[in-house]
Amino acid sequence: MSARDLLRFVPGTPVTEAGCDAHPGVSDKRAAAADVEALVEPSRDLQERLFAEGKHGSPRRVVVVLQGMDTSGKGGASESIGRLVAPAGLRVTSFGKPTDEERAHDFLWRIERALPAPGNVAVFDRSHYEDVLVVRVHDLVPRDEWESRYDRINAWEAELAAQGTTLLKVFLHLSYDEQRERLLARLDDPAKHWKVNPADLTERGHWAEYREAYQAALERCSTDVAPWYVVPADRKWYRDWAVAHLLHETLSELDPQWPARPDLDLAGMRDALREG
């Protein structure tokens, strides 16, 4: 069974913390590392083909959306993706608190500006879903406004899909206890103090509200053209295995091809080079 089959969210399924340390599809850390290593070369080949298509008129592109609670591993997952994609074809964007300019526009405005060029792969560390997560939990806008955003997100993602964008949406599912351990580890390591934000503890106090908000986002915005995948994230090695396989399977299904170039006079160019 493919990683996408194993991890695809099924509407109506409660997302509980019982499976956050599970590792469906691979037996252990060593096997996972070997699997990921085996994906590097074929994934880079597929991505280069996609990039070449984009340079010759194809509108196709891939956007990986990473969502999860603080310390769930969005940065680590981005690094895992970076191993499979050439730097020239990869763009990683982190979405934090909106700036004054971003707040002056519609909530999708800053996301649209970060969409990749044709042939490229983009990774969104947080995304437009923050506007039905943080905004919902903290009542930053009226309820009817954030309620309307689920349908707007679905319509927008469907439009992107129709235009050639493949959305790979991944929820990194971290447990409450594992987050505690990771936050404590940051406090114990001076090299990680730059990551420490007292607000993380405040957000942790809203754990139940965030779990409810994530459940709603998965239920209401997992569609045929843009499904959600739930990745157990307590084991970092499994997170990396899952994200790598999800991306590789996505690129494989796209099956990009080297562009044909009938406009090139190959024989004439060869002769010119030999004569020169």
What is the rounded CA–CA span in Å between residue 128 and residue 130?
Answer: 5
| Over residues 243-248, mean pLDDT | 98
Question: Residue 162: what pLDDT?
Answer: 98
Question: Residue 276: what pLDDT?
Answer: 79
Question: Residue 10: what pLDDT?
Answer: 96
Question: Residue 243: what pLDDT?
Answer: 98
pLDDT of 105 strictly over 90? yes
| Over residues 209-228, mean pLDDT | 98
Question: Residue 18: what pLDDT?
Answer: 83
For the chain, state the CA radius of gyration: 21
What is the rounded CA–CA span in Å between residue 108 and residue 134?
Answer: 15
Which pLDDT tens digit goes with each residue over 154-182?
999 999 999 999 999 999 999 999 999 99
Q: Which residues pair with 67 in a beta bridge?
A: 171
pLDDT of 1 strictly over 90? no
Question: Residue 246: what pLDDT?
Answer: 98
Q: What pTM, to 2 d.p., does this model score?
A: 0.95
Helices (H), the chain: 3-7, 29-55, 74-84, 100-103, 109-113, 134-137, 143-162, 176-188, 199-204, 207-221, 236-254, 266-275
The two three-digit tokens of residue 122, written as one number: 């983009």
Predicted confidence band of residue 200 (pLDDT cuts 50, 70, 90) = confident
Which pLDDT tens digit goes with each residue over 116-154?
999 999 999 999 999 999 999 999 999 999 999 999 999
Which pLDDT tens digit goes with each residue over 22-34?
999 999 999 999 9
| Over residues 193-217, mean pLDDT | 94
Task: Reduce the DSSP state of residue 150 to 3 states and report it.
Answer: helix
Nearest to 111 by CA among 71, 157, 69: 157
